[in-house]
Amino acid sequence: MSSRRPLALIVAAVLLAVLLILPVGHGSYFIYLLCSWLMFTIAAMGLNLTLGYAGRISLAQASFMGVGAYTTAILTLHGWPWLAAAPVGVLLCFVVGLLLGFPALRVRGHFLAFVTLAFNTLFFLVARNEDWLTGGSYGLSDIPRPRIGPISADGQLAFYYFTLAVSALAILALWGIVRSPWGRAFKALRENEVRAESLGLDTRRITLLAFAIGSAFGGLAGAIEAPLVQYIEPNSFAVGESLKVLLMVVVGGLGDFWGPALGAAMVVLLPEALRGTRYYLIVYALFVIALMVLKPTGLMGIGKTFLARLAKSRAAAATEAKP
Amino acid sequence: MSQFLQVVLSGLSTGSIYALAAVGFALVWQAAQTVNFAQGEFVMLPAFFALVAIHWFGWPLWAGFAFAMLASLAILGLAFKGLVVQPMMPDGGLPLVIATMAVSILLKESVKTFYGAEAQPFPSPLPDGTLQIGGAVISIRDLFDLLASLAVVGGLTLFLDRTRTGRQMQAAAQSPAVAEILGVDVARMTLYAFLVNAALAAFASFLVSPTYLAKFSNGESLGLVAFIAAIVGGFNRIRGALVGGLLVGVLDNLVATYVTQEYRAALPLVLLIAVILWRPQGLLGDAEGRTV
Amino acid sequence: MSRRNFLTAAAFAVAAIGLGGAARAADVVKLPCVCELSGAGAVSGTNYRDGAHIAVDEINAAGGILGKKIEMTDYDTQTDPMTSRALIQKVIDDGAYVIIGTVYSGSTAVNMLVAQKAGVPQFTGAEAPDITAKGNPYIFRTSSGAEKGVPALTAYFKDTVKAKKIAISWVNNDFGKGGHDVFLSEMKKAGIQVVADVPSEQGQVDFSADVSKIKQAGADAVFVYLNEEESARILKEAVKQGLKIPMVGEVTLTGQKVIDLAGGAAEGALAHVGLATSAPVPSIQAFAANFKKIYKRDTDHNGIKGYIAVWATKYVTEMIGKFDRKAFADKMHGLTLDVAKYPHMLLTTSWDKTGELSRESFMTEVKGGKQVITGTVPAN
């Protein structure tokens, strides 16, 4: 494992380099898509921590994006800098996530799914009805883009690099969490709770933490969404969006570190690829059904199977060549 | 007082439609651990089967309903079970949930693309009249919806409790392994649950569409209400889902009339959370039923 | 495991990004249609698009605009503001001359900022008041905003019904709230007391609580500001509960779709209609018939809105004699297109400095299962 880590770092560096040069020469629409892909990747990676690693489902990720987005929007509209506003949003999500984790101590699986789904709908109602705070169904507009010292992320390309930097840091942090004792505890919780407990893990604390950290990442995604779209309204954080994030996680590959990035790419970019055909949502739905039925491990699963086959045939070729 | 009676009666009638959707949802959940996120669309679709038969093929009303029922059994029962759920059994888990979400998109978009995005009027064989009950008005259709739902759910309960097949279905749902040993054809019993769900959905569709119109997006709110009703009432008892459906229908109206319109959707959700946390078997459910 | 994961992720990322757009230059002028083709706004968006395409075909058959053929590509916002913003960005990148859409106010409020920044004129179907209240010089309506439509009804409530107490039933989203807010301020000005203020959910099916509240409040009339199927449901419920006060709407309530959906329950409903396919104007009726011939279905007023958006683009561009977005927007402000000279506008239409539109409008009533024009409200 340790021998592979330098290679992993190299691949990460190459990927980062690709992402750095990618937008050059492209129109702002493409850059906008990349930003929204990065944003959804963060949200989906957060959910993947709760769901894929710790095995606790949440259908409320969009509401955390909402908490993050509204907090950032309201504070920056009041003149706060993004760098001060976003952490407040993320922290708030951490706390609310912690609270939403409590039901997870009592119920599992589908029941937990419904509790979190109900929570998301309640959030939507509050965001729509409390005009004084959230602007109600008119939403909040003209949200400023971040400005750090003399550097302004006002332009499309500048904002992309800002998003990329934030995402890279967030992913790095997540990478650290997954590899930390906490990360191992999350996995132990998913695999076998009783055993985890017998090994001396405080499963209550770990469950709550899994929720809180996953939610905080949702909040960060929201903190990016607010200045990206520069307009937020309740429908952007309704249950449908949570299901979309869940789709990204599962389609990408549940419990796989990079799966959510891939799933987010599919959800954000596939409609773009299929545009022009009148039936693109139908094709999209059929594709997802087929993928889930034939390959429940998702896109990463397909990729892995493919690579494994490749390695196997290469190994076979090598042994054949030997004698 | 007449206002109170009015909204309660209307709520019961709407709730009876929720109940039909909830009962089918609970059956499928029990039989195959499938949380069907397309349940609302299952109730939306059969009306369009009927409209296709009536408007495109020019068939009479009864033939349209018969066609819609058969098409529902074939597509929402057989095909859904065979093509989507069966390959992912026994442990569908999240991929199955995602697949049913995709099914819901597929059904909505197909109706919109191939039939139309606009709401459609839907024929009813029942007369338009109303009845006066103690100062409140109830339409004959509303009354029929309520009685028909009660009859169907009552009949279904009798079928499950009193017939051999019904008892086998229950056994297969509660402990498939034991049922298998006792000689129950579990696969067949599971299929029956899906067929009953399809039939209930079609029936609900025929009842709801004349008053609430047929539209591709109708399933969106209906699906959520069906989940809530099934869980609140107690998903391992058919009558639980019935009571859950009626309760949600009535509460929704009472909250909207006397408390708040803006937050009328909130009360069922709060109820849902409370029930899951403190009485997960539901208001009428038994603790022994299989927990999910 | 980490290496494989990285490789697969990287491979997919690179593959996904290969989906760039193909540029093409030709002697065409691009009028992209960015509309709600799926999601909650699908009905309005689809009609808007189809109306626009009729105009494109007519104009191209007659030689295009200044000799250039119109190229109209459709983009589906899925009724999602964020997607709509991205798509407006895309069509601007691709060289849009004028943008046709979007129809929903929530989407338009956000994507019009992008078009404004890029200096691309945009014809919206949105009717929320705030759209033209933000000083955006590139946004133009294709139907009057609620702040023009709703006040047209005030006179009716005050003088014809002589209402002292009034109720409002509105759909609780940005569209409904726009109408609701204008209505409340109008009633305050007119000295009419709003006794029941009843919001409902989009897609709500059971209107018994709503109607019973209105009935209980003892209103003299009720203003209905809902989408088509909700309008039909509340009309049915009102008949059922014996609510015998005038049901008055803006635009949708007396539309053919609502009449079809509500059946007999729509009888006697009243509405102020900016553009009605049943308007007693031969050109509008000819358009409606033509739409039906082409698409085998009826359109609502959104079909007309899309249609005149494209024709206005042709007329104004040929007035300024060149494809110049800035000059186009400048020309539009304070412009009146007289139907005698510009027949495809269907009705004489003016735009003011904010992009707000005004033209003759109608009071309508449902009589004998048909929308009947009972009066004409002059352009304001």
Give domain status of residue B191, yes or no. Answer: yes
Judged on CB neighbours under 10 Å (0-12, 13-18, 19+), B14 is: buried
Distance (Å, whole) CA C274 – CA C249: 12
pLDDT above 70 covers a percentage of chain A that reads 96
Task: Give contacts of A 255-284 with C, CB under 8 A.
Answer: 256-258, 261-262, 265-266, 269, 272-273, 275-276, 280-281
pLDDT above 90 covers a percentage of chain C that reads 64
Interface-testing mutation among A3, A9, A28, with chain C (most C C-beta atoms within 10 A): A28
Give domain status of residue B73, yes or no. Answer: yes
Interface-testing mutation among B276, B291, B292, with chain A (most A C-beta atoms within 10 A): B276
Distance (Å, whole) CA A46 – CA A171: 10
Q: How many helices (H) and strands (E) does chain B have?
A: 11, 2
Sequence-distant (6+) residues with CB within 8 A of A183 are A53, A177
Contact (CB, 8 A) for A219 and A65: yes
Closest CB from C199, C212, C236 relative to B211? C236
Q: What is the CATH number of the domain that holds B135?
A: 1.10.3470
The confidence score (pLDDT) of residue B290 equals: 42
Give domain status of residue B136, yes or no. Answer: yes
Chain B positions in Cβ-Cβ contact with residue A298 (cut-off 8 Å): 95
Distance (Å, whole) CA C46 – CA C177: 23
Domain ranges of chain A: 20-275, 279-323
Give domain status of residue B291, yes or no. Answer: no
Supply the DSSP symbol for A278.
T
Judged on CB neighbours under 10 Å (0-12, 13-18, 19+), C107 is: buried
pLDDT bin (cut points 50, 70, 90) of residue C152 is confident
Total number of domains in chain B: 1
Specify the amino acid at residue A288.
V
What residue ranges define each of the domains in chain C, with the CATH number in brackets? 28-144+281-359 (3.40.50.2300), 148-273 (3.40.50.2300)
Q: Averaging pLDDT over each range in A27-31, C150-154, C298-302, C363-367, which range is the top one?
A: C363-367
Closest CA to A250 of A287, A216, A213, A300: A300
Give domain status of residue B42, yes or no. Answer: yes
Chain C positions in Cβ-Cβ contact with residue B256 (cut-off 8 Å): 209-210, 213
Query: Between chains, do B292 and A292 touch, taking CB under 8 Å as contact?
Result: no
Residues of B with CB under 8 A from a CB of A: 29, 35, 37, 83-84, 87-88, 93-99, 101-103, 105-106, 109-110, 113, 224, 227-228, 231, 262-263, 265-266, 269-270, 272-273, 276-277, 280, 292
Per residue in C198-244, pLDDT (tens digit) is 999 988 999 999 999 999 999 999 999 998 889 999 999 999 999 99
Closest CB from C4, C9, C174 relative to A262? C9
The confidence score (pLDDT) of residue B287 equals: 60
The confidence score (pLDDT) of residue C26 equals: 58
Distance (Å, whole) CA A153 – CA A162: 7
Q: Does C204 touch chain A (CB under 8 A)?
A: no
Closest CB from C6, C12, C80 relative to A12? C6
Q: Does C42 touch chain B (CB under 8 A)?
A: yes
Closest CB from C3, C172, C176 relative to A4? C3
CA angle C183-C186-C190, nearest 5°?
135
Instruction: Count Cα neighbours of B245 within 13 Å in the Cβ-side half-sphere.
Output: 31
Q: Check pLDDT > 90 for residue C184.
A: yes
Give domain status of residue B288, yes or no. Answer: no
Per residue in A94-143, pLDDT (tens digit) is 999 999 999 888 887 888 999 999 999 999 999 999 999 999 988 998 89
Q: What is the mean pLDDT of residues B6-10?
A: 94
Mean pLDDT over all residues of chain C?
Answer: 89
Query: Between chains, do C81 and A141 touch, taking CB under 8 Å as contact?
Result: no
- B–C interface: beta-carbon pairs under 8 A: 88
Closest CB from A118, A243, A282 relative to B109? A282
Q: Which domain holds residue B16?
A: 2-278
Query: Between chains, do A292 and B224 touch, taking CB under 8 Å as contact?
Result: no
Averaged pLDDT, groups of 10, chain A, 323 residues long: 64 89 85 93 97 92 98 96 97 96 86 93 96 92 87 88 96 93 88 82 90 97 95 91 94 91 89 72 90 89 86 79 56
**Chains contacting C (3+ CB pairs below 8 angstroms):** A, B
Bridge partners of C168, per DSSP, are C197, C223
